[in-house]
Structure 1
Amino acid sequence: MIYNLYLHPLRAYPGPFWARSCRFWYINYALRGELPFSVYHAHQKYGPVVRVGPDELSYADPESWKEIYGHRPDRGHIPKDPNFYLNTAAGDLSIIAAPSKRHGELRRLMSHGFSEKALRDQEPAIQHYVDLMIRRLRDLSVKGEPIDLVNWYNFFTFDIVGDLAFGESFNCLETSNYHPWIHIAFEIIIAGTMFRVTDYYPWAKKVLVKFVPESLKKGVKAHIALVKSKSLNRLHMKTDRIDFMSRMADPKNGVSEKEFIASSDTVLLGGSETTATLLSGVTYFLMKNPDALAKLTHEIRSKFTSEEEIDVASVNSLEYMLACLNEAFRLYPPVPGALPRRTIEPETLIGQYVPPQTTVAIYQLAINRLDANFSRPTEYIPERWLGDPRFENDSRNAVQPFSVGPRNCIGRNLAYSEMRLVIARLLFSFDLEATPMIEDWTNQKIWFLWDKKPLWLKLHARDVKLRPEVEALASVEASQKATAKVY
């Protein structure tokens, strides 16, 4: 502790005493699911650069995005922290954790499935799942009971990504229930957070392993088996459809079986849970801000006269919709914590010396809510994204939910298209009513991702012109019910 406080190369950087002296502060809040909140409070007290561990710095200056994560042709990239980016549960390094050269090769292959052309080709599949979700919500709304939209957003996103990554849906929307794998995946995220922080003290990991429930151990094995099975099915599937894994599945492109499985695992969780999280967040903030909800509802209903008019191209022109999504990204980023890098040589970041072997990162929850970056930072105000002069000094470039640089999120366009479609269809088809059960909804733990609570709303279906596909679904279901009664 004496060395860390008074002799360490980072000794001049400010931060909480227990963060600078040892790992106690970091581990304590990480294991409580509160680390990003604690880092945010530390930035409020100590400024734009905070020492959150003996060898770790957190940055909340908007310029630090480019310096830590951006393209740096003159210096080379700061590599990912190997202690954080481990093998996936399915084994081997995925596209996220691969070394820079290999990451670039894998990304070029995968980018084919996320291009604008691919998105146009994938729109019928996306619309199918939106149709199915709206149909299910219409059926439930008739009962007049609260509906947990967190569940339905997760059903929607997991079904889409399952289809476009593995070639088959998880059928969550069909069954109105979670596939068992999804529950296992959430448990693995929580367990992974706990095991990652014990890397600082190997003896603690040995102790923690002894307390891992047998159910979780079995769950991990089941997760690995399912991912391998679905990945291998997709790898050997014969299809002309462009999906996320098309180029990687082509044997001519030299992707190993292990790389394919690991990358499929990463794409599945990264492409589903994060989108569902933002959909949940923007819905909550709209319900808590009736003026914003009214403006967005008016924008949607004044533009469209039928569900059939709502497609990927038409929702792109909804300016207030984009502002609502961006403001939700600011206050409720799907990845609120750090994506750390580890210096391998001396660096100068935002004008300050950083020695080798230092972990550097940005906590999105902290940088997005800091007074220095935003006026009225804790309030949900979409107008700050629309040129409102009250917010002309806001540092909107601080909000980077998809990160920046060569390792930014490849699924940005898909995510925005899904979110715009879902919110447009939801507010066109239903009047939403809040329930008292959502009052403290944002009071959540963070295990790398948010541990979301149920979002209970009442939905009141409007009499609107349905898409033919939705009418067809209703007709098929009515026929099936009639047949069941006969037998």
Structure 2
Amino acid sequence: MAFSTYLGSLESSLVLKGLAGVWLVWYIGRVFYNIFLHPLANVPGPLLCKFSKIPWDYWQWTGRLPQNTAKVHAKYGEIVRIGPNELSFTNNAAWNDIFAKVPGRAQWPRHPKRVPQGKNGPQSIMNTAGTYHARFRRLLNHAFSEKGLQEQQDLITKYIDIFVSKVDGFARTGQSLDVTKWFVMVGFDVISDLGWSEPFNCVENGEVHEWMKTFAETAFDTQLKFLFRERGLMFLAPYLVPMKLQLARLNNFKYARARVEERIKTGGTRGDFWDKISVKSAGDNASGEGLTKEEMVVAAVTLVGTGSHTISTLLTGLAYFLGTNPHTMKKLVDEIRTSFNSPEEIDLVSVHKLKYLTACLNETMRLYPPVINMLWRTPPQGGGHASGIFIPEGTGCNMSFFGIAQNPDYFTRPLDFCPERFLPDPPAEFRDDNHEAYHPFSLGAYNCLGQNLANAESRLIMTKLLWYFDFELDGTVDKDWLDQKSYGVFIKKELPVKFHPGPNAVRHVANGNGVATNGHANGHANGHARINTK
């Protein structure tokens, strides 16, 4: 009996060893293939990245994918292999080959495992292609066009003026305010009214709305699900994602659905995103030319969440760079205060004439891009060519924004904040800069829909702030402020700033059923304050 038990145990041990041996041989063969025989074998990159996704997964998990990818580019060149089937690029040729829409050439689709939603969920502008994607763009294009934004100007300006009134309260008392938080709030107030037809009054209340807090907190959760999806492990997500975040995300969609349903019920035009969409979407998109109610909900969540983050990131980054570059600050202040005779002249159209402000925003996006990790692309069926190499079907391809920004072949003094490089007639030092690789809002059919809004709103907010105030960074600002984690968007650090009253005083005027603000940091504008000079 004992002997037979021993034989059974021995047989089990031999089977396990045999299976382990088979797996080891298979794994060694796979490593050998990925390093020496794979179609991407000749693409440079770290050795471990050639046969394992562990480095890529770790960088993604820790929020350091953009920084580490840029380091790989600095060592290995403009085309690097950062995973067995992952390529990253920093050359302008890749933009045209992978992202640009070229007549007669198949569009490179988004990576099917790296889109924000599962294939069984409602369609959205983030996870569709071809005619389906064109339908979303066609319906939303007007709202984000320059003409559409001008139609929305009164609504946008209303919240910016309330924000300026609040800043004036801080300036009068000498208190610092965290502009990271306040730029999120003013951006959210604008985009929530445009996207949900309902003001959240974050600036008035001095508090970020719970919806926006949840959206920011789930950034890591979204990236984590991308990792699960690539390995067929999505069934684990409900067990590994905290229940608090799952419920918060569910409540966010419920809230968005209620707002969209109310907007559909109200109907009519009010100068928001839905003026034209609601007409074509009648009867839950019975005509097929509009959006279904569920598609409108997803669109509202996407536009409100990403829109407010894009604008706040751009403004926060610009505030940091101005605060750490006094000479640049002075030049920008001089441009703004000599370009207008009164605040009434400052609007969404007039701010576009400020060339130095435009240069400052472009330089901010170069060093601190609002969208740090674009949606990945993959070659069309049968593979494709990019930057002179053949890339097999199924390969993930992306651009490294940090890698481009830090490339001395494209930018002189690449690590320095130098807005002059983006002036129409730049100084001689920057005339050889190559801006063809600079596309902070991507390129082609899938470029950022909200870039006009981000540019226009950022210009208007910063122009009004510097028309009325001087500001400086608080002495408590982290010296490594730019060193931030990112999960699709930056997890921004606090940026305490001290504002001081400038030569143009803020006058608080009641509007509608509102009352004038009291000039203190904790005062509330009970209505819609508008501002003017005395």
Q: Normalising by structure 1, report the TM-score.
A: 0.94
Q: Which residue of 2 aligns with 1:433?
A: 472
Secondary structure of 2:92's counterpart equals coil
Provide the secondary structure at the position in 1 that maps to 2:152. helix
State whether structure 2 residue 402 is matched by structure 1 residue 383: no
Is the CA contact 2:34–2:51 (under 8 Å) kept in the aligned structure 1?
A: yes
1:244-275 Cα shifts (integer Å, max 9, x gaps): 23332222533212211111111112211011
Residues 1:346 and 2:375 aligned together: no
Name which of 433, 437, 446 aligns with 1:398.
437
In structure 2, what residue type is equivalent to 1:377? P
Structure 1 residue 89: Cα displacement: 12
When structure 1 is superposed on structure 2, of 375-384 and 458-467 the one drifting more is: 458-467
2:210 to 176, 180, 198: 180
What's the offset of the Cα at 1:422? 0.6
Given the superposition, is the C-alpha separation of residues 277 and 481 from structure 1 closer, same or farther in structure 2, using an over 3 Å criterion? Answer: closer
Matches within 5 A, 1:114-263: 114-203=144-233, 209-250=238-279, 251=282, 252=287, 253-263=289-299
Aligned to 1:320: 356
**In 2, are the aligned partners of 1:34 and 1:445 still within 8 Å (CA)?**
yes
Offset, 1:90? 12
Contact 1:158 1:268 in 2 (8 A): yes
Per-residue Cα deviation, 1:371-418 (whole angstroms, up to 9, x for no partner): 222111110001111222111221112221111111112222222111
Give the secondary structure class of the aligned counterpart of 1:405: coil
Aligned residue number for residue 361 of structure 1: 398
Alpha-carbon contact 1:337-1:365 (below 8 Å) kept = no
Secondary structure of 2:132's partner? Answer: helix
Which stretch shifts more, 363-372 or 350-359? 363-372
Partner of 1:308: 344
Equivalent position SS for 2:432: coil
How is 1:67-78 mapped onto 2 (pairs within 5 angstroms)? 67-78=97-108
Unaligned 5+ runs, structure 1: none
Give how far 1:208 is off.
5.9
8 Å contact from structure 2 (residues 159, 189) kept in 1: yes
Please give the per-residue CA displacement for 1:340-399, whole angstroms capped at 9, x wherever unaligned: 111122211111111112111112222222222211111000111122211122111222
Q: Is contact 1:347-1:356 (8 Å) kept?
A: yes
The question of whether the paired residues in 1 share the 8 Å contact of 2:45 and 2:80 is answered with yes
Cα deviation, residue 235, structure 1: 2.9
2:478 maps to 1:442: no
Q: Secondary structure at the match of 2:87?
A: strand
Counterpart AA for 2:261: L
Count of residues in Structure 1 that have an aligned counterpart in Structure 2: 482
Aligned partner of 2:77 among 42, 47, 70: 47
**Mapped partners of 1:470, 1:426: distance in 2:** 20
**Distance in 2 (alpha carbons) for counterparts of 1:151 and 1:90:** 35
User: What code does the residue aligned with 2:40 have?
Assistant: L
1:65-101: CA deviation from partner (whole Å, max 9, x where unpaired): 1211111212120011110113289942211211221
2:452 aligns with one of 401, 413, 438? 413
Amino acid paired to 2:231: Y
Identity score, percent? 32
Distance in 2 (alpha carbons) for counterparts of 1:320 and 1:326 = 10
Larger radius of gyration between Structure 1 and Structure 2: 2
Q: Distance in 1 between matches of 2:446 and 2:301?
A: 17
Give the Cα separation in 1 of the matches to 2:180 and 2:439. Answer: 23
Quickly say closer, same or farther: Cα 1:371–1:82, change in 2 above 3 A.
Answer: same
Consecutive aligned runs of 4 or more in structure 1 exceeding 6 Å deviation: 470-474, 479-482
Q: Which moved more, 1:214-223 or 1:380-389?
A: 214-223
Q: Residue 186 of structure 1 aligns to a residue in which SS? A: helix
CA distance in 1, matches of 2:460, 2:355: 14
